[in-house]
Structure 1
Amino acid sequence: MRNPEALQTRNASADGASDGASDGAPRASRSTRVLATIALVGAVLYVLVDIVLQALPPHYSVVSEAESNLAVGPYGWVMNLNFLARGVVTVCAVAALAHYGPRTRVRRTGLVLMLIAGACSAALAFLPTDIPAKDAPSLEPTTALGTAHLVVAAGGFLVALVAFGLLTVWLRRSDDLRGAYPAAAVFTGVAAFGLLALGIAAVWAPGVIGLAERVSLVGVLGWVIAVSLVVRRRCS
């Protein structure tokens, strides 16, 4: 005959384990949703801040002048905060994606590269760009900090593109986030086109550098927004 007290203890332990598992899952789901929401809202706010700053003095050209020029002038501190915010957005997006599988080398490499890209964005806040003279090419730094700014900005775009390419391949294989794949693939293509156009413009058509850079930014921020939306839906 079974001991009633032992059976009761065993059932209580099983119930406790079950409760613990059920309690843990909602907490993880809530935290992932919060991270995805911060990434989503942060990316949208980044775009809005860019638009507002573009309309304020000294009225840099959206077509011929780089986005980083917005960090120089009376409202430059706002753009520097925006660069830092993009770094935070990236960290939150990476943390949200890290909750999903499959846990492959492709995913791990993509997330690490994405973090590096976010760090490059944050670093721009501490590396003032050089504003070229009217008759000088748009990307010709004159100081050590200006050169560092250009190198970090270009490296950040390139690393982000590779990260998104890898993560987009991973999304296609993910049971949970496969719905994000089509939009992620489109925005990765936009980022690649913008980066290619930026390289061409830097050599042959400096008058459209600003436009090419902003096309690449559409791809980068659009990827984060689209994927974050799908992550939030999965957590609801």
Structure 2
Amino acid sequence: MEPGDQCAVALPTAATGFFSYFVFALLLMHVLRPDYTVVDHMISDYAVGPSGWLMTSAFLSISGGCLVLAISLFRYGPSSWLGRTGATLLLIAFAGLIVTAIYPTDLETAPSTRTGDIHTMSFMVNVLSLFASTLCLALSYGGSQDWRPYGMPALIFAGLLAIAFLAQFLTLHRGAPYGITNRLFVAVLMAWLISNSLWLRTIASAKVGRQAS
């Protein structure tokens, strides 16, 4: 197998691995930190306190997944401006998630710090860029022959993420169940990212197969 053929499979496979590790680590944090109730604790809170390194590694993992997925989309994704924009926004999320990992959040009961403020800004960048990337990619699939079979599932994911996105921002205030809406947004987002990685592996492998024949 040529190096280019290996990358066609390796890149989306690596993205799936990065995203799967994030899901595993996040679920494990719920077991390790039962004192962080899901109603009033964002997932970023898990990076504060004992076992915080695990949540930090999870942020780095999803960051790596966004980078690898973006690279693979530039090679095998839709060539339209929407497709390219969606992949570029993943690169922005890649950088933002590294900042999120480096600068932990401030707990709601703790004093505000510069580190926490930077984390909050990175959170906004991450959420907005990932949401916008989802919309761009979902809209681009219908115009690509290779991606057209995934157009409708992608639009459904985009619609679900829009609902979760709205719920998250409507509950970003004290007393609201922002922890639940945060997890809802993350759950839909991870399902979307993993699905894209799997679709990409199938499409990239098919493209390489056609080129070899």
> Is the pair's TM-score, using the shorter chain for normalization, greater than 0.5?
yes
The structural deviation recorded for 1:166 is: 0.6
**2:31 corresponds to which residue?**
55
Q: 1:233 — aligned with what?
A: 202
1:224 maps to which residue? 193
- Tell me by how many angstroms 1:141 deviates: 6.5
CA 1:119–1:98: 2 relative to 1, 3 Å? same
Q: Which residue of 2 aligns with 1:195?
A: 165
Corresponding residue for residue 129 of structure 1: 105
Which residue of 1 is the match for residue 5 of structure 2? 29
Q: Is 1:166–2:155 an aligned residue pair?
A: no
Aligned length: 205
Letter in 2 for 1:186: I
Partner Cα distance (2:11, 2:78) in 1: 19
Match of 2:210 in 1: none
Q: Residue type matched to 1:231 in 2? A: L
What is the aligned partner in structure 1 of residue 211 from structure 2? Answer: none
**Could you say if the C-alpha distance between residues 141 and 178 of structure 1 is closer, same or farther in structure 2, counting changes exceeding 3 Å?**
farther
CA distance in structure 1 between the aligned counterparts of 2:82 and 2:111, rounded to whole angstroms: 36
Q: Which residue is 1:84 aligned to? A: 60
2:20, 2:166 → 1: CA distance?
24
Structure 2 segments unaligned to the other structure (5+ residues): 207-213
Superposed, which structure 2 residues align to 1:36-51 within 5 Å?
Answer: 36-51=12-27
Q: Once the 2 structures are TM-superposed, how far is the Cα of residue 177 of structure 1 from its aligned partner?
A: 2.0
CA separation in 2, counterparts of 1:166 and 1:72? 34
Q: Tell me how far 1:102 sits from its aligned partner.
A: 4.2
Q: Structure 1: which 4+ aligned runs deviate by more than 4 Å? A: none
Larger radius of gyration: 1
Q: State the 1:217 CA deviation.
A: 1.0
Output the CA distance in 2 between the equivalents of 1:127 and 1:155. Answer: 14
How far apart are residue 78 of structure 1 and its match? 1.0
The answer for the alignment partner of 1:11 in structure 2 is none
Worse-superposed segment, 94-103 or 65-74: 94-103
Q: Percent identity?
A: 28
Give the aligned partner of residue 156 of structure 1. 126
RMSD: 1.9
- For 1:178 and 1:207, the matched residues in 2 are separated by 39
**Distance (Å, rounded) in 2 between the aligned partners of 1:112 and 1:210:** 29
- Alignment equivalent of 1:176, drawn from 146, 154, 162: 146
Show the counterpart of 2:209.
none
Structure 1: segments with no counterpart, 5+ residues:
1-22, 134-139
Shift of 1:171: 1.3
In the TM superposition, residue 101 of structure 1 has moved relative to its aligned partner by 5.1
Matched residue SS, 1:226:
helix
